[in-house]
Amino acid sequence: MRFTLQHTDTATAARAGEVVTDHGTIQTPIFMPVGTVGSVKGVFHRDLKDQVNAQIILGNTYHLYLRPGMDILEKAGGLHAFSGWDQPILTDSGGFQVFSLAANRKLTEEGCHFRSHIDGSRHLFAPERVVDIQRTIGADLMMAFDECPPGTAEYDYASQSLELTHRWLERCFNRFEQTSGKYGHTQSLIPIVQGCVYPELRIRSAQFVQQFDADGYAIGGLAVGEPASVMYQMLEVVNGMLPQEKSRYLMGVGTPVNLLEAIARGVDMFDCVMPTRNGRNGMLFTSEGIINIRNRKWQEDFSPIDPNGTAFVDNVYTKAYLRHLTIAGEMLAAQIASMHNLAFYLWLVGEARRRILDGSFAGWKEEMVVKLARRL
């Protein structure tokens, strides 16, 4: 992976750049749709490309490891070939599952012992194993294995967790350097800055990860229970430490407002399940605010979902029609809502990029965060 910083906003820390991988070029800021098990739920690959304008998608190491399994993926030639997606893929390391599946796991120096949520079978994610798994998946961007402590963690726990993550990171890079990709394309291993909500821990982590001179850096352990204001503070601390010439990926974030606030603080890449998960439940993000499409007020509203043209396929679907499909339980409702939200997220980061390049980002961002937080 090669990152080129093309422009930095003069009024904020917002950046426009370009990430080049063997599977394609990514214009940043960028949002990555989440394809947990090798698919973005309910959305065809052709629509991700042609309607949503996705440039990269995310796969989940934990879920792909359990199903379909590494034997199948290796025989298929990796996730790109298996799924038919020929553009860049990023895989997380399973570290968030270490956080979210706390009842079914045990942490040791060796790694994370856990039980499968599918059949209860026992497994171990050690740093070396996680690198091997991601080599087999074939992701362009591989995440180092980490522990993600909750945003409410006490300082002592967060500090111990960070030291464990740093020891695991050294083992990840040792394994990465001892191995090579399996399918003829280059892979990059990305360290994750942790440290919970404690500035001194974040600084320590941001300093530590730079010794590996990675192709880019990720910021993890945010949007996990801490207030948004604290998340923004941590972003300012971390991005003040990370090198300007490398990409910055904020993991698992977030709302449209979160994206704009993070872009203003120097973040380049994002992923989150929110646009598809919330879309399936009838929540739509638009340039004027948030819509609960189940509300009766939309029953006779024959206007486009987003009148400002951010939706896919030129706004052919109206609020009234989508409400009807949603109330009727029609599966097409979830597809339309998911694609609309994804298209909106990609429009939002694309518009942010355009504004950064033409110098109008700061004022536009202040206007947009007010609109995006409104419930219509």
- How far is Cα 102 from Cα 364, in angstroms, rounded to an integer? 41
pLDDT score of 98: 63
User: Is a pLDDT exceeding 80 seen at residue 311?
Assistant: no
Instruction: Give me the pLDDT at residue 312, please.
Output: 73
Is pLDDT above 90 for 11? yes
For residue 154, count other CB atoms closer than 10 A to its CB. 11
pTM: 0.96
> Is the pLDDT score of 33 beyond 80?
yes
In the residue annotation, 92 being an active-site residue is answered as yes
Under a CB-based contact definition with an 8 Å cutoff, are residues 340 and 305 in contact? Answer: yes
Task: Name the residue among 29, 58, 33 with its Cα closest to residue 265.
Answer: 29
Say what the pLDDT of residue 274 is: 97
Give 274-303 pLDDT, tens digit per residue: 999 999 999 999 999 999 999 999 999 999
Catalytic, out of 47, 92, 146, 215: 92
Given the structure tokens 């974040």, which residue do they identify? 202
102 falls in which pLDDT band (50, 70, 90)? low
Percent of the chain with pLDDT over 70: 98
pLDDT in tens, 196-251: 999 999 999 999 999 999 999 999 999 888 999 999 999 999 999 999 999 999 99
Query: What is the tens place of the pLDDT at every residue in 46-98?
Result: 999 999 999 999 999 999 999 999 999 999 999 999 999 999 999 998 877 76
Rounded-to-integer distance, Cα 2 and Cα 339, Å: 29
SS3 42: coil
Helix (H, G, I), strand (E, B) or coil at 196: coil
Please report, for residues 12, 209, 264, 365, the alpha-carbon distance to residue 341 in angstroms, rounded to integers and kept in the order given: 26, 34, 21, 19
Res 314: pLDDT = 62
Q: Which of 146, 268, 271, 306 is catalytic?
A: 271
Average predicted confidence (pLDDT) for the chain: 95
Q: What is the pLDDT of residue 99?
A: 63
Q: What mean pLDDT do residues 258-272 have?
A: 98
